[in-house]
């Protein structure tokens, strides 16, 4: 298992590499349970997702499960590093796999195999078959982070930066790679803006209308310097940058639309050190923007200092138009534990919904709360990947519209890999 640098640790749960090493070697136990077959009585076709894909991983082995909108398991192992049925799989899954932020128009489950692999896999959730795989490294460590489909084109955010480009087509890095979709094929790139000699480092994408919003982390090649984060707009039709907005914060999340579609939120943690400690808490907070106003309009902000709950992870989900769910950024061996918060946007009042247990030494385990997803205006519960208890935590609305914890659900119990990431499909 490769080691993770401090910035990569900002993008994945910090504590899992050592915390759950007992769950390694998927190939020794379990097997694929396949796709959903004809039993897919879920959403889809009405603008709502069909279900939620879950990454189970200890960063050595990976398993992809499917659950319904309430977190009930539909397939414990759609595909894994132990897959013996390799229809369409030329590259086995590594231990560093992430999911796109949003459901794709194609209806497929898309996997992004990151550092050291640089491969995308497109899986039919009904049959469980890998329909396509596409290498997207183009001669360097591309480290893909996110993917969206718009107007018949796939857009891939590549975090890696090539220090010696020009040897292959589309090998700059710090870009959006453009894909034809039937079948997937690289056809171009959009190189993202750079200033102050800091690579763009795109980390996340969101589709708002026909515009793709890109979160830039702006981190130096040696990972020692983190600049101010930025949001970049890209026209899906013209495939050109439409705006660049530098933020007064660092290390920010993907833009997340509110259920009404009128606003989007971004959460920033601030720059991190190698343990996941935030260097300056004032560089983090919750930012609320108009989803329609251009130039981009910041309508509200709640700094991490004002919230009083400590640094925040760069992740957010809208429980409702008035309440967002966020998680604390908890360093390894810290005096505090990872927490899930419900924040009222109008008042800044934060309620602790969940708190992880301390480690065996009595200190914090680091980040054990991973992927966070809310269905917005669609049916279902908000889901949280909880590697502390090895379950999906579920948050639903009570009669008064306040967040209410439902009983947690295990995703699978044969192999024991912890859930770390979620994405609708």
Instruction: Give pLDDT tens digits for 80-89.
Output: 987 644 455 6
Q: What is the topology classification, in CATH, of domain 6-36+46-424? A: Methylamine Dehydrogenase; Chain H (2.130.10)
| pLDDT confidence band for 409 (50 / 70 / 90) | very high
The pLDDT value given to residue 334: 83
Q: For tokens 């990431």, what's the residue? A: 421
Beta strands (DSSP E) in 52-201 are 52-57, 62-67, 73-80, 97-98, 109-113, 119-123, 130-135, 144-150, 153-161, 173-181, 184-191
Domain ranges of the chain: 6-36+46-424
The two structure tokens encoding residue 361: 């030494």
Distance CA 60, CA 73 (A): 23
Q: How many CA atoms lie within 13 A of 100 on its CB side?
A: 25
Order of strands, edge to edge, in the sheet holding 109-113?
97-98, 109-113, 119-123, 130-135
With 90 as the cut, is the pLDDT of residue 333 above it? no
Give me the mean pLDDT over the 320-332 stretch.
Answer: 94
The reported pLDDT for the residue numbered 423 is 96
Would the pLDDT of 34 be above 90? no
Summary mean pLDDT of the chain: 89
Q: What is the pTM of this model?
A: 0.90
- Whether the link from the prior residue into 183 is cis, omega within 30° of 0, is yes
Q: What are phi and psi of 289, to 5 degrees?
A: -120, 155
CA dist 147 and 423 (Å) reads 11
- Joined together, the tokens standing for residue 201 give 């480092």
Taking CB atoms within 8 Å and a gap of at least 24, the contacts of 217-221 are 217/7, 217/159, 217/251, 217/252, 219/7, 221/161, 221/163
């Amino acid at each position: 298992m490769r080691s993770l640098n401090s910035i990569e640790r900002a993008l994945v749960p910090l504590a899992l590499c050592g915390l759950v090493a007992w769950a390694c070697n998927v190939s020794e136990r379990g097997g694929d349970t396949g796709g959903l077959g004809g039993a897919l009585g879920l959403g889809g076709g009405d603008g709502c997702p069909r279900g939620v894909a879950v990454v189970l991983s200890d960063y050595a082995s990976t398993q992809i499960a499917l659950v319904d909108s309430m977190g009930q398991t539909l397939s414990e192992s759609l595909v894994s590093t132990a897959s013996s049925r390799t229809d369409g799989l030329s590259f086995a899954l590594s231990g560093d796999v992430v999911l796109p932020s949003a459901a794709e128009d194609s209806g497929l489950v898309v996997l992004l195999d990151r550092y050291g692999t640089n491969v995308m896999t497109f899986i039919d959730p009904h049959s469980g078959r890998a329909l396509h795989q596409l290498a997207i490294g183009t001669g360097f460590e591309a480290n893909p982070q996110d993917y969206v489909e718009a107007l018949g084109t796939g857009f891939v955010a590549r975090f890696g930066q090539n220090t010696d480009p020009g040897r292959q087509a589309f090998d700059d890095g710090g870009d959006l790679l453009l894909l034809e979709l039937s079948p997937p094929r690289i056809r171009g790139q959009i190189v993202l803006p750079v200033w102050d000699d800091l690579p763009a480092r795109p980390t996340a994408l969101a589709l708002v209308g026909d515009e793709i919003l890109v979160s830039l982390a702006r981190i130096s090649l040696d990972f020692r310097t983190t600049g101010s984060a930025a949001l970049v707009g890209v026209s899906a039709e013209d495939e050109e940058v439409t705006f660049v907005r530098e933020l007064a914060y660092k290390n920010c999340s993907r833009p997340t639309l509110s259920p009404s579609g009128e606003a989007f939120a971004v959460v920033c943690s601030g720059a991190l050190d190698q343990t996941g400690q935030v260097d300056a808490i004032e560089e983090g907070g919750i930012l609320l923007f108009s989803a329609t106003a251009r130039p981009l309009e910041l309508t509200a902000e709640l700094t991490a200092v004002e919230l009083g709950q400590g640094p925040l992870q760069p992740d957010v989900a809208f429980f409702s138009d008035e309440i967002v769910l966020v998680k604390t950024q908890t360093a390894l061996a810290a005096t505090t534990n990872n927490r899930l918060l419900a924040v009222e946007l109008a008042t800044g009042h934060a309620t602790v919904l969940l708190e992880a247990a301390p480690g065996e030494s009595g200190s914090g385990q680091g980040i054990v709360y991973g992927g966070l997803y809310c269905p917005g205006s669609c049916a279902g519960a908000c889901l949280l990947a909880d590697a502390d208890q090895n379950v999906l935590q579920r948050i639903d609305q009570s009669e008064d519209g306040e967040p209410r914890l439902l009983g947690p659900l295990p995703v699978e119990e044969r192999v024991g890999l912890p859930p770390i990431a979620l994405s609708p499909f």
